[in-house]
Amino acid sequence: MDKIDRAYRMMQTYFKENANPKIIEKYSRFFREGYDPFGVDPHKLSPQIEVWYSGLEPDFKISDFKKLFTKLMDHGKDEDLAVVINFLRLMKKYHSPTLFKNIKSYVSKYFTNWAQVDSLCARTISEMILNDVVSYDDLLAWQSDESKWVRRCVPVGTVYGFYKQKDIKPVKKVAEALISDPVREVGQGVGWMLRDAWKVYPDQIEKLLLNHVKTGNRTAYQYACEKMDKEYRKKFRRPKRQ
């Protein structure tokens, strides 16, 4: 048994020994699809993942981590993906344009729910942009991918960058590209991004919303306008068909 198999089996043993049906019941209501956990308490799992990374990192190369990621993602439980997502956050010294491309393929092939995407964007994708490993335009290039989860990464990764830089330009680019995407999960991401950008740049965001009111994703508009006054937000409703 090599070191990758040992690490994988160690993690699977932990997952099985700490599985709790009550955890599954508690969190399943937040998901319409793609939630398939052992049932490990996330508050216990997060520090355990950091312990695993600290133990493996001295003896693992980037190629070893990628092989471990493939084994975990092929198995496909939520906890498996949680390890991958958190390891990607912790392995900052390996962040590179090549790893960014790998991440896109991971999301496209293996990610199955919004929480996985949002965690990845908050902890890794936005940090790679803020640290100039890749650019907002590199992320924007994912806009036309067939996977809705890859496309959701674009607004969610952008909004986490916006929280720190308050740069409206990438927000507007993403909105122009994806505000009419018909998929609910993508619309949620776009609307979330616009809602939080509106708090800082209300005039620019409202102008953008008005420009796309006839064709924009309804879910995106619901999210984008939810913090507005109830009467005021009516101006952003799609006109009824005659």
4's CB contacts (< 8 A; 6+ apart) are 64, 67, 68, 71
Q: How far is CA 99 from CA 23, 37, 124, in A?
A: 32, 26, 11
Q: What would the pLDDT profile of 53-91 be if each residue is shown by its tens digit? A: 999 999 999 999 999 999 999 999 999 999 999 999 999
pLDDT of residue 192: 97
Q: What are phi and psi of 241, to 5 degrees?
A: -70, 140
What 3-state class would DSSP assign to 195?
Answer: helix
Per-residue three-class SS string for 197-238 = HHCCCHHHHHHHHHHCCCCCCHHHHHHHHCCCCCCHHHHHCC
pLDDT single digits (tens) 109-161: 999 999 999 999 999 999 999 999 999 999 999 999 999 999 999 999 999 99
Place of tokens 């979330």: 192
Q: Cα separation of 58 and 52, whole Å? A: 11
Q: Residue 242: its pLDDT value, please?
A: 40
CB burial string 119-140: b at 16+ within 10 A, e below: bbbbebbbbbbeeebbebebbb
Please give the Cα distance from 18 to 44 (Å, whole number). 9
SS3 for 152? Answer: helix
Residues near 136 by beta carbon (within 8 Å), at least 6 away in sequence: 129, 158, 161, 169, 170, 173
Per-residue pLDDT, 237: 85
For the 132-242 domain, the top CATH level (class) is mainly alpha
The structural domains of the chain, with segments of one domain joined by +, span: 1-94, 132-242
